[in-house]
Amino acid sequence: MRKKEKAEIILRELKSLYPDATCTLDYKTPLELLIATQLAAQCTDARVNIVTKELFTKYRNAEDYAGADISELEQDIKSTGFFRNKAKNIKECCIKLLRDYGGKVPDNMEALLSLPGVGRKTANVILSTVFSKPGVIVDTHCTRLANRIGLTKSKNPDIIERDLMKLLPRSEWANFSHYLVYHGRAICQARRPKCEICSIMPYCAYANKNIK
C-alpha cells in the first residue's frame, strides 16, 4: 500500500475515534495561547493549564510580561520546568511583540519565528488554532507515532513536518497532529503501546514488525 493511501486511511480512522480533538491548552486570547505553548515545552498540557489559570489573571497583556520582574515570573511558572529559560523567553518575546507588532501576536510564520522562544511547533499551534491556517504540529506524540506507524523515518521535527505535509491534505494538517496527541495519550503510549486494541494496527509498521 502506498504511504499516502495509508496516511489517508489512518486519518479517517483517527478522525472517527477523536472527532472533537483539538488543542488541549486553555486560553482566551492569542497571547495566552502563545504563552501557554511556550510553557508546554517539556511539560504536560494539564500542568500548564493549572499554572496558567493564575498566571493569566496576573499578567493580562504583553506589557505585563514585558515589564515583569524576572525572578517573580520565574516563580510564577516554576512548576512547568525549565522556568528560567521560559521566563526569559516570555519576557523577551513580549518586549519584541510590543516593539515590532503593536503588542499583538502576528499571523504569519516568518514573524512568529522571529520571536524569542518560538519555534515551528509553537508557530504552527498559533497559526492553526488562532488563525485557522494549515500547519502540522510536531510534538513528542507526533514524533513517536509518525515513526512507529511508518509515516516518517526521522526524529527531526522539521523533516517530520515536511513528511506529513506531503502525505496529508492541507486542511487536515493540524487535525492530524491533534489526533496523534489523543491517540498517543490513550493507546500508543511511549512505554507500552496497546497494539492489541489499536484500530490502526493493520496499517502500523511497528505493530506488523513486533506482533506475530
Tell me: does residue 35 bind ligand SF4 (CB under 6 A). no
Alpha-carbon gap, residue 118 to 86, rounded angstroms = 11
Of the candidates 127, 146, 128, 149, which has an alpha carbon nearest to the alpha carbon of residue 138? Answer: 146
**Torsion of the alpha carbons at 17, 20, 26 and 28, rounded to the nearest 10:** 160
Alpha-carbon gap, residue 132 to 130, rounded angstroms = 6
Nearer to ligand SF4, 164 or 204 (CB): 204
Total residues at the site for ligand SF4 (CB under 6 A)? 14
Map residues 118-147 to x or -, x wherever contact with ligand SF4 holds by CB under 6 A.
---------------------------x--
Provide the CB-side half-sphere exposure for 208 (13 A, CA): 9
Q: DSSP string covering 62-81, please?
A: HHHHHTS-HHHHHHHHGGGS
DSSP 187: T
Residue ranges of E strands in the chain: none
Tell me: does residue 149 bind ligand SF4 (CB under 6 A). yes
**Piece in contact with ligand SF4 (CB under 6 A), picked from 21-29, 85-93, 171-179, 185-193:** 185-193
Tell me: does residue 206 bind ligand SF4 (CB under 6 A). yes
Catalytic residues: 121, 139
Residue choice 91, 120, 148, 178 for contact with ligand SF4 (CB under 6 A): 148
Tell me: does residue 204 bind ligand SF4 (CB under 6 A). yes
Nearer to ligand SF4, 6 or 86 (CB): 6
Residues 6+ apart with CB under 8 A from 202: none
Tell me: does residue 179 bind ligand SF4 (CB under 6 A). no
Nearer to ligand SF4, 108 or 210 (CB): 210
Q: How many residues does the chain have?
A: 212
Nearer to ligand SF4, 9 or 95 (CB): 9
Which residues bind to ligand SF4, rule: CB under 6 A?
145, 148-149, 187-188, 193-195, 198, 200-201, 204, 206-207
